Structure 1
Amino acid sequence: MKTTHPLLYLLLALTLSACGGSGSDEGGRNPSSSSASSSSEDNNSGSSESSMQSSSTLSSSSSSSARSDDGLPDAGRLSCEQANQVQGFASLGESTTGGAGGDEVTVSTGVELASALDNKGNQPLIIYVDGTITPENSPDDKFSIKDMNDVSIIGVGSNALFDGIGIKIWRANNIIVRNLTMRYVSIGDKDHISLEGPASHVWIDHNTFYNDLDTDKDFYDELVSGKKNVDNVTISYNVLRDSWKTSLWGSSDSDSAHRRVTFHGNHWLNANSRLPLFRFGEGHIFNNHYEGVINTGINSRMGATIKIDGNLFEDSKNPIGSWFSDEIGYWDLGENQFVNVEWVAATDGDVTAGPDPESTVSYEPPYDYTLVPLETVADHVAVNAGAGVIADCL
């Protein structure tokens, strides 16, 4: 549940102002194919039966109730204490601590990273990455955190780059991945980070993920994805950009495991779709900045229930809906802001949330969480999301 703190929010706003794979989009239907209007700032008045433009709107639901931030530092930058505190589903139960309190090792090549994972004993393990990990300096086509618990992979400064190779987390518990830059993964599972159940208590935080839109849409797969029974996961303060297929949860309409995933503080930028695509289970999406969504944004499918709260959608198409499944998914909308967005009328049983978004279900996540006010989301995400930001906190 949440509470608010209007005076603190006003002060923060003034401070910011002063500081300046599987699961493809089945059926080949394209929600944007019937649109005749532009999404550009200089042409936002056109509308038709199939395309509805919104220059600046808010949506809210009476079920909204988040608690305030208890004192962000100047300019909205998280303190180290705040940055190192997991929120969301990964905070439930015994929380997510990764390799804290255990052995530590620093690696600079893929061979060294694979060896550190292979030789993990019963103690928790923190692996610090200080260098560029490539297919050429790695023994396999991906790094498997498999059949093990209590592991952290943490980048050193701004030096940790996974260039063309990804990480798979499966049959694992209590895993943390932070402060990495990952790009152009076209081998292995072709995901930057993929989770396959059973897996639980996973925190993916303050990373930068990107591919290249100047490729075929199937050349790469997801940036971050999960399938089967993946539970208590938090995806926070990441940059996810330049991707055709961005974040898939549930590999197909028959992957009915009950997933629970939180997405908060992320910058979703210049991506085509799946932001995320979420089947079955429960999701919570708050205080994200969506910018330049090309086709479809949050896609709730196959009975999924998602709380969508305190997000900014900007210069984007179809921010929220349910597309490409036999069974739709649902959403509970808190207060979100839509700036220069385009809604395309759904067909063939799909549902587009706009142009006047309303909740289709009532849902509150089972934890307390912190919201920053809508007017500060863009600045808050800009100064906090991505690799390198928390280097001094690790």
Structure 2
Amino acid sequence: MTVERDYEPSPFSPGYGRRPLVFGGHETDLAELTDVFETLDFGESQSVLVSGLRGSGKTSLLSVLQDAARNRGWLVISDDASAGLMDRVMETAIPSLLQQLDQGTRARLTGLGIWQLNAQWEYVDRHREVRPLLRRDLVALSDVLAEHHPPAGVLITIDEVSSGKVRLRELSRFALEISHAIAEGANVMVVFAGIRLDLEALVEQEHTTFLRRSRELDFRRLSPPETRHVLAETIRIGGKRVDDDALALLVSISQGYPYLVQLAGDFAWRSSGSGPSITLADARAAQSRAITAVERRVISRVYQDLSEKDREFVAAMALDESRTKIADIVERMGVSDQYVQVYKKRLIESGYVQSDGRGYVTFSLPYLGDYIRSMNSESGPDAGRDDWQQYPPPKS
């Protein structure tokens, strides 16, 4: 049965892990990382740490890198840091990659004595004469890929890094195997993604010293021009126009938060139906739906992740509509400045809060302050100022 539609499907992608049509920010980093897939000149990009809050674009970046690597003939191992990572990679991911290789390459790998293939050159089992090690697999794959024209390598992306003790032990062992493969000359790029505190916990493990020299990407909010570009270009590619006042409102609604950019754009597009343009009325229709959705799907969960003292800190901040003076937080919490500085540092490293001029902080996550104020209602120098002050969020 064919379903006829009189409208174009939305070009926005607010779903988890979906690659956006237009990727905003980090253009230089992305270009340099993808260049490695062509040149094999790794430089500082052999290991990469991508930090950021939920919905900040980390997983989308991994998707962009994976597509770019595959397009240049690289093999891609993609997983998350949940229990059983090592077994999944060695017993499922790598055998699956073997099936993608041509017969000559598989014959070359069989000759190395690591994998057993049948007469049809299909994977059967791993030889057990030598204890199987991930480093051996990666070196073997890298060696045969280096003989391809053009030569290629292996990209490994691990999302959702966790700082739980059990997870860190397995991740540390996994990273150690990768470091040995790299030390043996394997053409491997590894990318770990998570919130900053969890990545820092990983880097501090006993066997992950090589990660301390990783390239670091910190995903926060897009700038106002970047936000405008992502919205306008996505709409253009999708086949519509957007009125200037509608675009201005969508920029203001989304506040540079990548997930909210996709969400607001998607709601506005759907509101426009079969019309050729997204109008101010469409943007207004998207406003409450997008803000409500991000509060339920992201902000409420972020708030639940906070400790009791973290919540006291952000509650003290939420008493102000804009930035908050540290001295006021000290007074409102009734504790010492040194005590407040500890929680300030932790919240900044987590990505929920950012410095906003000397002695001031503000929320990094749009609408977090509004969310806290709504819950409560129910029960100097400009250096480092946030340029989103020029784009206050619209009133609910």
Q: TM-score, normalised by structure 1?
A: 0.22
More strand by share: 1
Larger radius of gyration: 2
More helix by share: 2
Q: TM-score, normalised by structure 2?
A: 0.22
